[in-house]
Structure formats: C-alpha cells, structure tokens
Amino acid sequence: LIQLFIPLNFLGVLYREIKQALADLERMFNLLHVNREVSDAPDARPLQVSGGEIVFEQVGFAYDPERPILQGVDLRIAPGTTCAVVGASGAGKSTLARLLFRFYDVNQGALRIDGQDIRSVTQESLRKSIGIVPQDTVLFNDTIAYNIAYGKPGATQSEIEAAAVAAQIHDFIQSLPQGYDTVVGERGLKLSGGEKQRVAIARTLLKNPPILIFDEATSALDSRTEQAIAAQLKAISADRTTLVIAHRLSTIVDADQIVVMEAGRVIERGRFDELVSAGGAFARMWALQSGEEQDDARAEELVA
C-alpha cells in the first residue's frame, strides 16, 4: 500500500501546485484585462524604441459600443519624461494604460511609440518594452528571489539583490530568517501591500523597460508612506518615459506633466504649480486632498 501512497501523495502535491499556478495566472490576466481578440497584424514588426516618445492622437475608445469612454484624447509624453494622469474614479485613467499596453485597440485615432502605430508592431516586442507596477501586485507562491527574477528570466543573485536595493526592499528581505529564499505564501499574503509593491518595483527595475506604467494604490496612505512612494517613483522613472495613474496628488509634485481627465476627456494639463495657480479642477482636487490630510494629521495628534 505504501508503494501506492507515495506516488499518489506526490500527485496530490503536484495537483495543488498546478492549481495555484493556474489561479495566479488567471488572476493576473483578469487584473490586466487581457483581451484575447487583439492580435498581431500579418506584417507586424518588432517595436523599435529609441527615446520612448508616447503619442495619443485623437484617441476614442469604448469597451461597449453603446457607451463611449475616451473621446478625442490628445497626449504627448516626451522621451524620458513623467506624465501623471489624475481624475475622478471612472474618468478613464486606467483605460489609457490598458490601451498603451494594447489590451484593446483604439476605436478612433492612433497611439504611437517613437512614431510607430502600436497596432503595426508585435505584441511581444511592445510588452517587452513596457513595465507595469500595478496597484495590486500578484506574487507567485514561490521565493522572494523567484518573484523578483520573474522580471528577467535567468537573472543572477547579484542582479536580483541590486534591484531589491534600488527598490528599498533589500534590508527588509535580509531581516527575514530565510532571506531571499523566503516563500511569500499564496498570492504573497505574508507580505504587506507596500512590501508587495516594492517587490514589483524590483521586478520592473530588473526588466529595465524604456517605458513604465505606474498604477498608484488607491488606498489612503499616511504621509510618510506617500513620501516613500514619491521617492520610489522618482528612482524607478528616471530616464524612462513614465505614465503614472495617480491618486495621491502629493506624489506627483515633480511630474513633468499632469493631465486631468473627466468623463473620458482631458480637461486640464500642465505642471503641478501651474495647475494649482490656474484655480481649475486640479486646484480644487488639491485643496480637497490637502484639507483631508490636515484633518488626518489633527486626528493623529489627538490620538497621540
């Protein structure tokens, strides 16, 4: 009987491992809103990235033809600069990022990277050139080293550690009894949201893409964490063309360009100071958020 038990037990373990891996993959695809209908053109060429200029040209898009989402969006992100997109929930911020990664094709206009319409290039080359730091990072139920190395298959331990240092997570990892060999648990449940995001940042730094999409977490953060995110964003976006989907306005003070979206249209654009002094929608959002922060600080003082 024992001869039968060992292989059966092994099969059970294998089954659970495969199921977990499939669940992770499924969740990743859901998160990334993969649309399997997008396919390579028969004459698709690899994307050639020189500086990484991104241009949205009169872009119109609807998930459902009855309900237009983006309308006439014009946006140019110069090579190596950071553009932050802000706006109310549902304004279309994440949709811009999904179109750039080509989960969907635009219905009107065009989206170009260094002058190439992204519909004319291979999806593989496009996705290799873009790194995403998502809001809610999916980690594999494997070691921290594996999760970081996922950004660059075959990465060496010293490359992994250098990326972790840059993402400010190396000291934390070293403080764990098993260091880089710590298994993160199903979906990374053993790590906090901030730690998971830093693992995702390390993964992206290792991938070293010329273009970056940074999807900031929506959850309320204390001001120290906000400052840490701003610093990480600065480190990771240096020399890359970066699109930030921003929820906390204090993290984008230094962005080269801020775009304010409302109901699928760009209603304002400029640098932080320009928008605050313009006294429009952005200035109102800023007044609201900084008021909330002062209230939070007062509440913290009262508790302390």
d(CA 290, CA 55): 32
Closest to 190 in 3D by CA, of 176, 201, 204: 176
- Distant-in-sequence, close-in-space partners of 296: CB < 8 Å, separation ≥ 6: 220, 222, 223
User: How many residues at the interface with ligand ATP, by CB under 6 A?
Assistant: 12
* The one among 20, 33, 162, 172 contacting ligand ATP by CB under 6 A: 33
**92 makes contact with ligand ATP (CB under 6 A):** yes
First-last CA distance in the chain: 64
CB neighbour list of residue 135: distance below 8 Å, 6 or more residues apart:
215, 216, 217, 218
64 versus 239: smaller Cβ distance to ligand ATP? 64
**Which residue do the tokens 């859901």 mark?**
30
Q: Minimum Å distance from CB 15 to ligand ATP?
A: 32
Question: Does 95 engage in binding with ligand ATP (CB under 6 A)?
Answer: yes
Closest distance of CB 215 from ligand ATP, Å? 8
Interface characters, 121-140, with ligand ATP (x: CB under 6 A) = --------------------
Both tokens of 13, joined, read: 């373990």
Q: Which of 69, 73, 84, 246 contacts ligand ATP by CB under 6 A?
A: 69
For residue 265, the minimal CB distance to ligand ATP (Å) is 12
Contacts with ligand ATP, residue ranges (CB under 6 A): 33, 63-64, 69, 87, 89-95
